[in-house]
Structure 1
């Protein structure tokens, strides 16, 4: 049943209390009075006192144990606590020392008792908040919509307990739906400090307190926004609630929570707090948690740092305002209008308690079960009716069960007699089964012997089959020689592209590249390679034929393994008249580069010539090539054929430089190169820094960092985003061809990325920038057909119209 008069007490993360006393009359909530003061000591030390008794009423110790004062010290006057009530500030000057206070000084008990006694009403209900220090909030993204309510609650409670690894009581866990699928769960441990403190002063009150609700601060703010703003379904509203040391963000859509980020550990007392909040909003927007919003509402102590002026400048076109009452269901005193943002939480608590059945109000209430139970009056008439009904029904149920068991006994007895007769009829089969078991044992022994003799007989055919399959998968490679060297297989051949040789080696469990040398075949640049396969397959049991015991019927035909035909070629016959390039890379030089880059993995993050992230570089492997100076002009055709290199070292006189000297030159190049080292700990900071550089049009600096993040591949949720921003930066640097390569790679390696649609729009712009309008139209039409009403549909249609007008 809804309360008619409610006294709401809000305790922040420090020691400040804010109260609102409100009444309900004619469907209108009227705020009668409001107040604020400071507790003498923090209540947080009481959280763990009652953790072992969640289901029953806690055994609260006496006042001297909790507050450091005896019972006879309770009665104090308002003047002793607050001074003259007509002064401008009602706040009490309290000591910061949280140790027990001396006799005669104010205590927490004095403060609470005086606040309650100042309420001008003989009887009212209480509403309290669950402090953020106790609360755990999770965004559960599983789909609970199809589950029944009780099953859904059980699943959510189990998930919360698993995440916290603690046995949280049922009444300490609750949830509300989230936008889309999933739910937002709230849970807390121990007892609510305000609840325990008010229980302690109950003997000194004329009427035993009755608690109506206990809810998180986020729910109080959300209820106030839903009732006051009445947002439309597509309205995105961001709420920023600031306190002295913390700041909370609530992201809503149509009055439903989209996302609750972790609290920002900075508040009005923190220098540059608004810059921190602005960076957090930009980060949440880029992560897809906060789309473009219509309005920002400021609550708490946001006026102290001029938050409206700062955010209005940063978010041009977005309405930024302090909390203002618009609803005709709320009536405020004039003196509260200016300070309304500071009282948003207790006012939201009053709304939840006074009009719980309103369509805009979330029904969440986390009042402990033992408190609700002790406040219910015992209704004997209800229990008496249950008892009479049971007395009447029980004899009929017992009689029905007796008849059912008698019938079941008859059926079971008949079944037992039938089974006993059947067992006697089958006794003749026992000797026959023993004989069959003996013969089966002999057959198993013979098959075991055959299996041991046949091990490894399929090694050659399986090896050839694996090599043949690997060559087909990699493509653009042909073999000229295959030979056995002990347990190893040595293969030689040619590849159209250098990186295909590494991909071929990666197809096998153990493969060592002996040499890679450039060559020319019919005026085409190719690469000759030698490779030793130490281990072709991971499981040597594949070399063993499968030995099974044949069944009499049907007869199992032996497995036919297709013969792998390897075309035998004679190198002298095929390549006898093909000239070999005179600037081959020495084998020792290639191996030196490979070993150095593995020993120094940080050099894997190098600036790429075309901003292209190839699969090889995802694993920290650098591909290096040495070429003479006059070959530099032929680099572009190589890149066009997807042969990308992270580093190009140009030899001055390659024929006169020995491999060791070239290796030193390469090592010096790496040592003197600028690189960005990406780790899991600095990844979010680097991402935010790069995004800020992009916003400020420093595209080259942003490109360097985004390339490093994409190359490190430490977090899939940021890798694909970084790959997208590589394309944005390249387009900003007027490099549309390179941007096309980067964006195409995004589609290939991250097909489920949240950046697919903006990347399609960006790719359309890049194609049009290089005059490839047909391809631009194709990708833009694909975007429109996949999501015609999406966020980027209008921009895509506008670009299409521009292309048509150019034709």
Structure 2
């Protein structure tokens, strides 16, 4: 029996994983697993692609191409590279002088180790370009594909035909649809690489979403009780997701978004997200957990098992029906099998396309599928072809020679690129030396500039003197300088004065603030770092304090807040007094709280609001729910006009729920629902969960029914039905 090979290629951020499988004597085996990390993306983000979009032609728009697996390799007549239009695309790139990006060059060098022209290739779809839509059995009664296009795409997108659509269906006719917009980066990059690495045209088999690949492995290698939930927990570099299945069917998918932190904190945040998802959805998803991806080491298994409840089963993915080719070495371990799960699934489906356990869907553009199909013509067609051939022969011979030379030049260029990559380390070192020399030259210029201006320190000290005079009971302790700036330490009885001091010179950075309690007086110690002001811009001019005083009109002076500072002589701080360290953000917030509310709301940058919100989420995910409640409440008071204030209100309700403060949780979730925004279905689910905890099952059921009635297309409606059925069964 002829051996067949397949290659699965999976991209996770800049990480590329490739699995090479072989079908020999009816047995599928792993031949090779390898990966690389690119230094840059395959394409520039702003790059516009012309003549590379593969639209769906009207003739094939409604065709189903899932029967591609029925065609053998021998049934395809693959033309020489000179016969396909892909070379014309490369010629356009050469004529325009487009530069080959480092990521494309590195991918080309990496793929040279695989015999891609001797098998079929499958890819993972770009996850960030896919949108999903869950539909029920009523939706799928008739005209499913047209309904899905109308539901998931705008008329403009449908008209552009720059998309591919696929779906899977469960036995009850419900299912999951997915649409990929734009081009497939891996596919287009490999088309270009094909021209350099091989004269044979590569054969492309499938492009599947990551969720489909992972579910295929579970359906084919595991058997679970039909009434038990199974959680596939895939933790990769950029791609992190949880997939819930039951009885071999897709139930739901939830993203796993965790803040960047150390390894232990990340694992804890992942576990907290899973537990919260289980509590919110009221599904026992931790009963069977399968770990997949880059976090499947023995220590990861041990960590999650230490958190598991009695009766929960947490294990690393194992593929019992997959074998390992002899002589492949020891690098193909159970841990690597779990890490390379997605590319393995892609290659496996390519070698066994008729497997009933695999979902039969394909996002490969229909035009590519059509171009790879073998076709036959009638006897009279040969006369037509002969006439066309003789008419075009003389015009194409010279063109074929030129294209052949181009391929030769590209191969020579690839060899030079490999040689150049060996010297890349030396080039990097030379660039580092060049950068260092530039920095030294810049420093010399600064020193020369500063040393040539005698007014610099006079300007600095004079500015401090005038500012201290305008801010009574403030004094400096020490001023020290360095190559690029200077540091100042001092004391004041007014917290707002510290902010004024930080704005005197460029790049003012408050590095520390300390609070001293001396008898009945509060003294604030501070340390601030500055950059030197540009010496050539320093002239004999009024200080900022004087200018500020001159610019205030009498009317504005009346409206300003008058703050009388106590006139107390500075005292030394006793060693046994309490010192409290306060961050710059806390100082800003306290200063705002001490100032009476203005008639005009201060404009706070959106980046600062988002940063504060993410900080509170870190506290929430760390499990400090009491502190999170306080911070969420302060956030709503400070930024009640911002959209994130609504999200903060909802998560405050979850904190009360997790602390068993159910009456407070009911109050908060009711407010969330009454606002009528996008968290309304979540609020109704949580209201039902809260009343269930209080054993008021009628009110719990009433809130779940409202989810189904008011939000029938929301995925939480499925959870609501399940909760009602479960409660009715009990």
| TM-score (normalizing by structure 2) | 0.51
Counterpart for residue 227 of structure 2 = 234
Counterpart for residue 323 of structure 1 = 317
Alpha-carbon distance change, 159 to 60 in structure 1, aligned in 2, over 3 angstroms = farther
Alpha-carbon distance change, 366 to 719 in structure 1, aligned in 2, over 3 angstroms = closer
* Mapping of residues 109-124 of structure 1, within 5 Å: 109-119=104-114, 123-124=118-119
Counterpart for residue 360 of structure 2 = 363
The partner residue of 2:331 within 308, 329, 335 is 335
Matched positions, count: 430
- Is 1:259 aligned to 2:256, yes or no? no
Alpha-carbon distance change, 700 to 241 in structure 1, aligned in 2, over 3 angstroms = same
- Assess if the C-alpha contact under 8 Å between 2:162 and 2:182 holds in 1: no
Counterpart for residue 6 of structure 2 = 6
Name the CA distance, whole Å, in 2 between partners of 1:33 and 1:67: 38
SS at structure 2 position matched to 1:111: helix
SS at structure 2 position matched to 1:260: strand
* Mapping of residues 546-561 of structure 1, within 5 Å: none
- Is 1:135 aligned to 2:130, yes or no? yes
With 163-172 and 216-225 compared, the bigger mean Cα shift is at 163-172
Counterpart for residue 552 of structure 1 = none
Name the CA distance, whole Å, in 2 between partners of 1:382 and 1:159: 46
* Mapping of residues 608-627 of structure 1, within 5 Å: none
The partner residue of 1:62 within 77, 90, 93 is 90
1:521-573 superposed Cα distances (whole Å, 9 cap, x missing partner): xxxxxxxxxxxxxxxxxxxxxxxxxxxxxxxxxxxxxxxxxxxxxxxxxxxxx
Name the CA distance, whole Å, in 2 between partners of 1:682 and 1:347: 44
* Mapping of residues 680-691 of structure 1, within 5 Å: 681-691=644-654
Alpha-carbon distance change, 137 to 789 in structure 1, aligned in 2, over 3 angstroms = closer
The partner residue of 2:684 within 682, 703, 720 is 720
Counterpart for residue 76 of structure 1 = none
Counterpart for residue 662 of structure 1 = none
The alpha-carbon deviation at position 676 of structure 1 amounts to: 13
SS at structure 1 position matched to 2:128: coil
1:260-317 superposed Cα distances (whole Å, 9 cap, x missing partner): 2356366787884334434443444355385545311111112379543443344413
The partner residue of 1:302 within 295, 314, 317 is 295
Name the CA distance, whole Å, in 2 between partners of 1:378 and 1:29: 29
Name the CA distance, whole Å, in 2 between partners of 1:23 and 1:746: 54
Counterpart for residue 436 of structure 2 = none
The alpha-carbon deviation at position 142 of structure 1 amounts to: 6.3
The alpha-carbon deviation at position 198 of structure 1 amounts to: 1.4
The partner residue of 1:376 within 354, 373, 394 is 373
The alpha-carbon deviation at position 64 of structure 1 amounts to: 9.6
The alpha-carbon deviation at position 225 of structure 1 amounts to: 1.4
- Assess if the C-alpha contact under 8 Å between 2:691 and 2:700 holds in 1: no
Alpha-carbon distance change, 368 to 721 in structure 1, aligned in 2, over 3 angstroms = closer
- Is 1:25 aligned to 2:20, yes or no? no
The partner residue of 1:161 within 150, 153, 156 is 153
Alpha-carbon distance change, 52 to 207 in structure 1, aligned in 2, over 3 angstroms = closer
SS at structure 1 position matched to 2:726: coil
Name the CA distance, whole Å, in 1 between partners of 2:722 and 2:240: 36
- Is 1:791 aligned to 2:706, yes or no? no
Name the CA distance, whole Å, in 2 between partners of 1:21 and 1:185: 29
- Assess if the C-alpha contact under 8 Å between 2:55 and 2:162 holds in 1: no
Name the CA distance, whole Å, in 1 between partners of 2:645 and 2:214: 33
Task: Kindly indicate whether structure 1 or structure 2 has the higher relative contact order, using CA contacts under 8 Å at least 6 residues apart.
Answer: 2
Name the CA distance, whole Å, in 1 between partners of 2:644 and 2:155: 22
1:349-379 superposed Cα distances (whole Å, 9 cap, x missing partner): 0121111111101111111122222222331
Counterpart for residue 245 of structure 1 = 238
Name the CA distance, whole Å, in 2 between partners of 1:287 and 1:42: 37
The alpha-carbon deviation at position 347 of structure 1 amounts to: 0.5
Alpha-carbon distance change, 218 to 680 in structure 1, aligned in 2, over 3 angstroms = same
1:585-644 superposed Cα distances (whole Å, 9 cap, x missing partner): xxxxxxxxxxxxxxxxxxxxxxxxxxxxxxxxxxxxxxxxxxxxxxxxxxxxxxxxxxxx
Alpha-carbon distance change, 336 to 60 in structure 1, aligned in 2, over 3 angstroms = farther
SS at structure 2 position matched to 1:380: coil
Alpha-carbon distance change, 216 to 727 in structure 1, aligned in 2, over 3 angstroms = closer
The alpha-carbon deviation at position 189 of structure 1 amounts to: 1.9
Name the CA distance, whole Å, in 2 between partners of 1:179 and 1:131: 28
Name the CA distance, whole Å, in 2 between partners of 1:64 and 1:328: 44
- Assess if the C-alpha contact under 8 Å between 2:701 and 2:724 holds in 1: no
* Mapping of residues 484-563 of structure 1, within 5 Å: none
Alpha-carbon distance change, 700 to 3 in structure 1, aligned in 2, over 3 angstroms = farther
SS at structure 2 position matched to 1:723: helix
Counterpart for residue 507 of structure 2 = none
The alpha-carbon deviation at position 20 of structure 1 amounts to: 0.7
The alpha-carbon deviation at position 712 of structure 1 amounts to: 5.1
Alpha-carbon distance change, 69 to 340 in structure 1, aligned in 2, over 3 angstroms = farther
The alpha-carbon deviation at position 49 of structure 1 amounts to: 0.9
* Mapping of residues 301-450 of structure 1, within 5 Å: 301-303=294-296, 307-316=300-309, 317-327=311-321, 334-337=330-333, 338-381=335-378
1:472-496 superposed Cα distances (whole Å, 9 cap, x missing partner): xxxxxxxxxxxxxxxxxxxxxxxxx
The alpha-carbon deviation at position 194 of structure 1 amounts to: 1.4
Alpha-carbon distance change, 288 to 159 in structure 1, aligned in 2, over 3 angstroms = same
* Mapping of residues 439-478 of structure 1, within 5 Å: none
1:22-43 superposed Cα distances (whole Å, 9 cap, x missing partner): 0112332101011111234202
With 212-221 and 58-67 compared, the bigger mean Cα shift is at 58-67
Alpha-carbon distance change, 299 to 170 in structure 1, aligned in 2, over 3 angstroms = same
Name the CA distance, whole Å, in 1 between partners of 2:296 and 2:95: 34
Name the CA distance, whole Å, in 2 between partners of 1:189 and 1:290: 32
The alpha-carbon deviation at position 201 of structure 1 amounts to: 2.1
Counterpart for residue 189 of structure 1 = 181
- Assess if the C-alpha contact under 8 Å between 1:60 and 1:196 holds in 2: no
| TM-score (normalizing by structure 1) | 0.46
Alpha-carbon distance change, 116 to 280 in structure 1, aligned in 2, over 3 angstroms = same
Alpha-carbon distance change, 788 to 368 in structure 1, aligned in 2, over 3 angstroms = closer
Name the CA distance, whole Å, in 2 between partners of 1:787 and 1:208: 51
Counterpart for residue 705 of structure 1 = 668
Alpha-carbon distance change, 142 to 687 in structure 1, aligned in 2, over 3 angstroms = farther
The alpha-carbon deviation at position 69 of structure 1 amounts to: 9.0
Counterpart for residue 538 of structure 1 = none
Counterpart for residue 215 of structure 2 = 222
The alpha-carbon deviation at position 108 of structure 1 amounts to: 3.9
The alpha-carbon deviation at position 137 of structure 1 amounts to: 2.0
Counterpart for residue 49 of structure 2 = 49
| 5+ residue gaps, structure 2 | 58-84, 385-636, 710-720
With 159-168 and 290-299 compared, the bigger mean Cα shift is at 159-168
The alpha-carbon deviation at position 692 of structure 1 amounts to: 4.3
Name the CA distance, whole Å, in 2 between partners of 1:253 and 1:721: 21
SS at structure 1 position matched to 2:331: helix
Counterpart for residue 38 of structure 1 = 37
Name the CA distance, whole Å, in 2 between partners of 1:153 and 1:750: 31
Alpha-carbon distance change, 250 to 698 in structure 1, aligned in 2, over 3 angstroms = same
The partner residue of 1:274 within 267, 270, 276 is 267
